[in-house]
Structure 1
Amino acid sequence: MINALHRSRMRPYLDATGNNEKRALALYQWHLELTSAVQSVLGVTEVVLRNAMDKELQSWNTKETGGRRSWLLEEPAAPLRSLSANKRKRALEAATREAERRNSNHRRYGETVSHDDVLAQLMFGIWKDLLPNHQPGAGNSTDNSNRARLWREALTYAFPNEEDPDGEITFWRVARLHQLRNRVSHMEPLLNIDVQDEVKKAFQLVRSIDTEVANWVTGGSKVSEVLNRRPSQR
């Protein structure tokens, strides 16, 4: 089994168990359960986040353009236009391909691509990239000034339960969750990460959007249960 999974992939688990192959395999199997539990929380968090931000961006774009235009199907007002250009284009192309592949039995066969179709194709990273960047050195670049404007005029309203005047709290939560999502998606080990603390950021982010939804997400999480079943490493 170790060879079938490849020793390079299993190296973190072998190192953690003193090269005990039986325990390394048990740890790897447990880790699969952990990543599944974390992914479940992150998946719901991403949907809640994108819907909340999309609602405010759509409202803002309607005011800025003087009409009800989808910011994903048509060129939105500046600065949203430049901040989202490449990711909007790729999402629209992906949604178009999906629509073209629908067979005649599909419930939406022959229908044109909708705003929601494109929204579903956007990657987690766009939501981080639309928030004011508070990383060291980000400074007052044109893009970051534009993000700050979007925060003040639109995106701050997506997080009504958080006192976050400049978006720093929200930026770091989303940035950390983006990193965690990438690790989980690539099956990278979480052995040396405080998973409980990282998942807590997801709960806090959802709570800043909607407390009832946060209670539902927290109550349905299996992360703590799985963490408590971590097998012995020695």
Structure 2
Amino acid sequence: MKDDELPAWMSEAFSEARLHAYTEFMRGDRPAGIRLYWWNTEASAALYGPFHCLEVALRNSVHRRLSDLHGRADWWAVARLGDRGMGKVVEARRVCRGRGKTGTPDEIVAELSFGFWRHLLTKPNDRYFWVPAVHKAFPGYRGRRDALDDQVHSLVLLRNRIMHHEPIHHRDLREDHDKLYRIMGYVNQDLAKEIRSMDRFPAVLAAKPDALGGRRPPQF
């Protein structure tokens, strides 16, 4: 096999089309493109844990505040979610029942996407969500709603790329990582401190040159 050819198993498993973007990013260097693909996978895997903690903590914090505001755990039954938001709740309830669950508030909350919770930070939801309750879900934050929304939206997009196995290597991942911890700290500073102690992403990012140069094997 020539240096610029994909191993047969890799071409079959991942496809030429999928890997082309990585080779192209590395200016046509096929072996370097493959190494970039593996590093992208490693970086995505390393970010999964922090994203897991951020998403769960954020949704639980927002859920608690809205439950307090409306005096009921199924606050969406009386809140002004609009068609889009209620559609997400209906779909979450359908998924729960399809899995043999009753669709309790906790079960529905677990099915609602990160994007659903981020949507509660947008301008149309300012009056009925942010002002009376949602801002309290971020006790460490003192800034504007729109600035927080921009940051959370950026993280939602990154999270979705990771979960859909898409390229993230071209992003400013150091800034993304810092942003993730800023938002996590706004929600719960103790959580952010604890998760940092277990986070291997900084080491993965620092090792990128060695990984792309073939001096360090991928680890995920």
- TM-score (structure 2 length as normaliser): 0.84
Secondary structure of the 1:220 match is coil
Q: 1:116 aligns to what?
A: 106
Cα pair distance change 1:83/1:163, threshold 3 Å: farther
1:191 paired with 2:169, answer yes
Consecutive aligned runs of 4 or more in structure 1 exceeding 6 Å deviation: none
Q: 2:93 aligns to what?
A: 92
Unpaired segments of 5 or more residues in structure 2?
1-6, 215-220
Q: 2:133 aligns to what?
A: 154
1:196, 1:223 within 8 Å by CA — same for their partners in 2? Answer: no
1:83, 1:130 within 8 Å by CA — same for their partners in 2? Answer: no
Q: Counterparts of 1:216 and 1:88 in 2: how far apart (Å)?
A: 32
Cα pair distance change 1:188/1:131, threshold 3 Å: same
Q: Deviations over 1:13-70 (max 9, x none)?
A: 21233333322222211211111111222111100110000000111111xxxxx352
Q: Counterparts of 2:110 and 2:178 in 1: how far apart (Å)?
A: 25
Number of equivalenced pairs = 203
Question: Cα distance, 1:76 vs. partner?
Answer: 1.8
Instruction: Give the RMSD, CA atoms, in angstroms.
Output: 2.0
Q: Counterparts of 1:37 and 1:94 in 2: how far apart (Å)?
A: 29
Q: Counterparts of 2:73 and 2:19 in 1: how far apart (Å)?
A: 50
Q: 1:7 aligns to what?
A: 16
- Correspondence 1:116-155 to 2 at 5 A: 116-133=106-123, 144=124, 146-155=125-134
Structure number with the higher helix fraction is 2
Question: Cα distance, 1:82 vs. partner?
Answer: 5.2
What amino acid is aligned across from residue 118 of structure 2 in structure 1?
A: K
- Correspondence 1:170-181 to 2 at 5 A: 170-181=148-159
Cα pair distance change 1:156/1:6, threshold 3 Å: same
Q: 2:207 aligns to what?
A: 229
Q: Counterparts of 1:20 and 1:208 in 2: how far apart (Å)?
A: 42
Secondary structure of the 2:197 match is helix
1:31 paired with 2:19, answer no
Identical aligned residues as a percent: 24
Deviates most, 201-210 or 19-28: 19-28
Q: Counterparts of 1:16 and 1:228 in 2: how far apart (Å)?
A: 20
- TM-score (structure 1 length as normaliser): 0.79
Unpaired segments of 5 or more residues in structure 1?
63-67, 101-111, 134-143
